[in-house]
Amino acid sequence: MNRQQVIERERRGQVLAGALAISTLPIFILTQIVLSETGFVLTGMPTETYRSFHEHQTAFIAQGLLTAVLYAVFIYPLYYLFRAAMARSQRVNPAMVGFVFLGPGLYALSNVVLSIAQSGVASDFASQSAAGGDIYNLLSDLQNDSTLTQIGTYLQLPAALALVVAIFYTALQAFRVGLLTRFFGTLGMALAVAQILVPQLGRPALMAWLAWLGFLILDRIPNGRPPAWDAGEAIPWPRPGENVATAGAPVEAIEGDATEAFESEGTDHSARRDRARKRKRKRRR
């Protein structure tokens, strides 16, 4: 695929990729509004949390579905960026595109499964705990007996790992070919790792990063997007200390005649040799 074909292909998917990337931040904010306005109890004892789930069952399922939509939405923008990087460099491994679908897809699936499963457990807990007894063991037994809860829980770890790989690898390769700036590419890689280390802080920051990526894809950022987009080929960023104008340019030979700095043809060195001989004689005496 030549440069013009790459540019035309990216132009066809530009609006959709940019709009979906931008929409991730509003969708994330909406999920947080649903949680805050319905009075969910997400801290404290698990028994209190599950009673809250039961009391706001409809809103709880809606929040889980919104979260699933959130992760499904940014599959295409991430895929769009991956393909753009792959079209500009043979170093991009095509097999890695599987993580772009696997990570967000597993997260979306696990959220749907867990929402339905926890809603069912919450209903059973509310009805059975009314009789009294050891409510903590009752909740633990209900969770262990729920097949959907086990499936949703087991999906969380591979989903998180696949998501980290997808975002980290795509941001890295996009930076290498010049589609992302050094700062924005490094930030994307850091936020990918933050999804595991500090998910509560990393998740909203990642959504903001994706929204900015959407504006970048649409070429709606203040200083314009990097030149590699419109060139249809890789334009790597200069390394620290390297001249921007000559970065990536081949080193050309400088034509001309070389002459020694301290000697020229025709110079008589007999006087210098005579003085050297006289100094040697004086040392011998």
* List of residues 6+ apart from 90 with CB closer than 8 A: none
Which tokens is 106 given?
A: 């597993």
Which tokens is 159 given?
A: 């989903």
Position 251 confidence tier, pLDDT thresholds 50, 70, 90? very low
Q: Is residue 115 part of a domain?
A: yes
Q: Indicate the pTM of the whole model.
A: 0.78
Q: Is residue 285 over pLDDT 60?
A: no
Q: Is residue 239 part of a domain?
A: no
Encoded amino acid at 252, one letter: E
> 181-226 pLDDT, tens per residue?
999 999 999 999 998 889 888 899 999 999 999 999 999 999 899 9
- Whether the CB-CB separation of 162 and 106 falls below 8 Å is answered with yes
The rounded distance, in Å, linking the Cα atoms of 96 and 146 is: 34
How many domains, the chain?
Answer: 1
Mean pLDDT of the region 256-269: 47
> 97-155 pLDDT, tens per residue?
999 999 999 989 998 998 888 888 888 888 888 777 778 888 888 888 888 889 988 99
DSSP single-letter state for residue 232:
T
- Whether the CB-CB separation of 98 and 85 falls below 8 Å is answered with no
Q: Which helix (H) or strand (E) holds 82?
A: helix 75-88
How many residues would you count in the chain?
Answer: 285
CA nearest to 164, candidates 109, 110, 99: 99
Q: Is residue 242 part of a domain?
A: no
- Whether the CB-CB separation of 237 and 172 falls below 8 Å is answered with no
Q: Is residue 72 part of a domain?
A: yes
Q: Is residue 197 part of a domain?
A: yes
Residue numbers of the domain that contains 171: 3-231
Q: What percent of the chain lies above the pLDDT cut of 70?
A: 81
Q: Is residue 30 part of a domain?
A: yes
Q: Centre a 10 Å sphere on the Cβ of residue 154 and count the other Cβ atoms it contains.
A: 12
Position 249 confidence tier, pLDDT thresholds 50, 70, 90? very low
- Whether the CB-CB separation of 166 and 107 falls below 8 Å is answered with no
Q: Is residue 241 part of a domain?
A: no
Q: Centre a 10 Å sphere on the Cβ of residue 254 and count the other Cβ atoms it contains.
A: 6
Q: Centre a 10 Å sphere on the Cβ of residue 99 and count the other Cβ atoms it contains.
A: 21
Which tokens is 84 given?
A: 């753009």
The rounded distance, in Å, linking the Cα atoms of 34 and 120 is: 20
Q: Centre a 10 Å sphere on the Cβ of residue 195 and count the other Cβ atoms it contains.
A: 21
- Whether the CB-CB separation of 77 and 171 falls below 8 Å is answered with no
Mean pLDDT of the region 4-8: 93
Q: Is residue 129 part of a domain?
A: yes
